[in-house]
């Protein structure tokens, strides 16, 4: 789809450009969009990583087995390297914090380059962790942040060929000017700048073979999801459906490689924020948009995590952080349609209107039903009122909490966390007033401090947490994964802009205002009147039920006196004891089986009966592993019991 020449200005002549003799740049500009006005100069772009992109660039000759081996090889190598870095015997002259920092830097660089080799799927995962300054060491954050700038581009000839195939004409016929050198490279595509009918535009061109790559990667991720579904201990009382979460993520990833859906999402997002001057969305050019090519308005800006450049523009970083939080609350609580991939590569700022946010890349979006939106508002209200009953009722309304099992334990736990939350907010307010919060990364807690905090928490509500873990009353919809991730990334961005950033301080007044004024006055009155009528109706009904209930209570007391009624009393201490006894008995059983198999296999081996002897040794090794796991489980149960009883 392209416009013939008579639709263009007669003064707009195509600029000559060589398509075959231009070599791809050895430098990559900021991710996906020009996030820095100075990045238009090629010499100022940051250098691309030495990693040219692993075998995932050669899709046609790349088998599922090769890809699977590469993925799992990298995963196990990283786990082993982390384990080695934490072992004292690997440090010559003793383990010191300086040596650990140096090793973390080396490992973080290795991890970044491994992610680049693994390709788009894992680059997107790494980008999500690149803002978590509060949970990752600084060395990892620094390296993962480069994933937004150093994604290697694919050959420009391939991009030009894709554009011409999708739009049905050569780039010289469609555009007055087309920059063969990519302006930016992303995990799923790269961007070229052009001039169309006198307007500056950018074209996002999809990498070739993404669907085939996703098919392989997602098969491996599904194995992980099914494994987590089986082994998740659900010790926090939440019954997560890992397979459903995987299905939701896979569906979103496949939608990302259809640029027409992204264009539709961008227009819908822009419509939702049309009355807010602090949010900008690039305009879509539908005539030049296809499933693999997306043409949009050129809107330069500065990445939201480039603090020095933001300061040079004289922008208020604290206000930008507040804008980011308020825009997401607006997306989730008002529109129910939100940007699910808000890492710094997809959010920029400029100095228009005193500072505004520019959103890019609308391939990954999430939707929330009105019922859940209303429930989230009620949760905010319950937290604001410090009322655990309101919080739990809202969670039941959203389908997050199933009112079964020991709800008394759930309520006490909710009250404990509300009190802790209020204490934390008070401490943060005091720190801000005294200006004791230093800029930079959050101080990492030592093992002793983490253990002490866990000990205090279990000593306070350990019994209730165990009851919740046994009943598993919580159900988390797959959509919540994207909501939690979005706010997690947003919190990291805010802390980067302002060390004193507190997302709760911004969210609380906004949510309360929205709760009061998001509906028309008549609707609020009707809703309140309906609630009051329901309460009065139940009270009126209970008045006439009182005699029946008194009689029923008398019958229960009489049955108790006669011994005809048995009470079911839940003794959590006994449950834990039985659980430990069961683990010990199972471990002993495995030990007996392993010992018997060793004797049998040895006898068979001495009598030259090789195959059955080999099978016996293999089974013995399996039971030996089960013994080890059983011993570890018993030790964990003992430690948990000591923490709860305060004898640790």
Q: Which of 36, 149, 179, 341 is catalytic?
A: 341
Contact 55, 73 (CB under 8 A): no
Active site residue 341: yes
Q: Are strands 356-359 and 279-280 parallel, antiparallel or unpaired?
A: parallel
Partner residues linked to 193 by β-bridges: 202
Contact 243, 226 (CB under 8 A): yes
Give me 154's structure tokens: 């694919």
For CA atoms 40, 45, 49, 50, the dihedral sign is positive
Distance CA 353, CA 37 (A): 17
Nearest by Cα to 301 from 244, 253, 256, 349: 349
Taking residue 260's Cβ as centre, other Cβ atoms within 10 Å add up to 15
Can you tell me which residue has the tokens 């710094």?
A: 344
Q: CA-CA distances (angstroms) from residue 482 to 248, 278, 489?
A: 9, 24, 10
- The total number of residues written for the chain in this structure: 648
* Dihedral angle, C-alpha 379, 384, 390, 394, nearest 10 °: -10
**Angle between helical axes of 64-85 and 97-118 (0-180°, round to 10):** 170
Contact 349, 493 (CB under 8 A): no
What letters, b where the CB count within 10 A reaches 16 and e where it falls short, cover 327-364? bbbbbbbebbbbbbbbbbbbbbbbeeeebbbbbbbbbb
Residues carrying an active site annotation: 341
């Amino acid at each position: 789809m392209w416009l013939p020449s008579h639709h263009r200005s007669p003064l707009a002549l195509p600029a000559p450009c060589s398509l075959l003799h231009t070599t791809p740049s050895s430098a990559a500009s900021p991710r996906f969009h020009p996030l820095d006005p100075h990045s238009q100069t090629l010499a100022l772009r940051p250098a691309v990583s030495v990693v040219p992109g692993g075998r995932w660039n050669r899709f046609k000759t790349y088998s599922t087995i090769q890809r699977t081996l590469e993925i799992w090889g990298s995963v196990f190598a990283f786990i082993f390297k982390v384990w080695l870095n934490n072992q004292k015997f690997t440090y010559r002259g003793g383990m010191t914090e300086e040596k650990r920092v140096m090793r973390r830097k080396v490992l973080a660089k290795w991890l970044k380059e491994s992610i680049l080799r693994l390709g788009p799927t894992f680059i997107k995962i790494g980008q999500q962790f690149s803002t978590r300054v509060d949970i990752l060491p600084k060395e990892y954050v620094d390296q993962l942040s480069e994933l937004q700038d150093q994604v290697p581009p694919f050959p420009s000839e391939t991009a030009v060929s894709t554009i011409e195939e999708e739009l049905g004409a050569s780039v010289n016929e469609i555009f007055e000017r087309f920059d063969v050198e990519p302006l930016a490279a992303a995990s799923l595509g790269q961007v070229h700048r052009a001039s169309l009918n006198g307007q500056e535009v950018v074209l996002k061109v999809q990498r070739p073979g993404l669907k085939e790559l996703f098919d392989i990667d997602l098969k491996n991720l599904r194995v992980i999801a099914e494994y987590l579904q089986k082994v998740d201990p659900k010790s926090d009382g939440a019954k997560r459906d890992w397979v459903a979460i995987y299905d939701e993520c896979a569906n979103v990833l496949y939608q990302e490689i259809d640029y027409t859906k992204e264009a539709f999402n961008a227009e819908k997002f822009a419509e939702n924020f049309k009355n807010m001057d602090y949010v900008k969305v690039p305009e879509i050019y539908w005539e030049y948009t296809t499933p693999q090519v997306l043409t949009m308005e050129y809107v330069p800006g500065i990445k939201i995590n480039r603090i020095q450049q933001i300061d040079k523009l004289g922008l208020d970083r604290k206000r930008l952080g507040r804008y980011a939080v308020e825009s997401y609350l607006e997306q989730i609580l008002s529109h129910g349609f939100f940007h699910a991939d808000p890492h710094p590569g997809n959010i920029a700022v400029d100095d228009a209107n005193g500072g505004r946010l520019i959103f890019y890349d609308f391939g990954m979006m999430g939707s929330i039903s009105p019922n859940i939106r209303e429930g989230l508002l009620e949760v905010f209200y319950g937290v604001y009122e410090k009322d655990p009953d309101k919080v739990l009722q809202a969670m039941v309304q959203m389908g997050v909490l199933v009112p079964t099992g020991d709800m008394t334990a759930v309520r006490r736990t909710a009250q404990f966390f509300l009190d802790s939350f209020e204490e934390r907010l008070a401490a943060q307010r005091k720190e801000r007033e005294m200006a004791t919060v230093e800029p930079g990364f959050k101080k990492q807690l030592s093992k002793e401090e983490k253990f002490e905090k866990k000990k205090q928490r279990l000593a306070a509500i350990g019994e209730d947490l165990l009851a919740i873990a046994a009943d598993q009353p919580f159900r988390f919809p797959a959509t919540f994964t994207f909501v939690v991730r979005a706010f997690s990334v947003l919190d990291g961005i805010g802390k980067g802009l302002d060390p004193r950033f507190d997302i709760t301080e911004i969210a609380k007044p906004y949510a309360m205002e929205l709760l009061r004024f998001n509906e028309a006055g008549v609707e609020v009155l009707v809703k309140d009147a309906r609630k009051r009528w329901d309460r009065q109706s139940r009270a009126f009904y209970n008045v006439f039920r009182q005699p029946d209930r008194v009689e029923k209570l008398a019958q229960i007391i009489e049955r108790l006196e006669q011994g005809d009624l048995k009470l079911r009393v839940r003794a959590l201490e006994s449950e834990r004891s039985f659980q430990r006894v069961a683990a010990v008995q199972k471990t002993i059983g495995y030990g007996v089986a392993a010992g018997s198999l060793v004797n049998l296999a040895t006898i068979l081996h001495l009598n030259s009966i090789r195959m059955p002897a080999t099978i016996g040794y293999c089974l013995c090794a399996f039971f030996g592993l089960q013994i080890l796991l059983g011993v570890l489980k018993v030790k964990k149960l003992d430690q948990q019991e000591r923490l709860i009883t305060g004898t640790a």
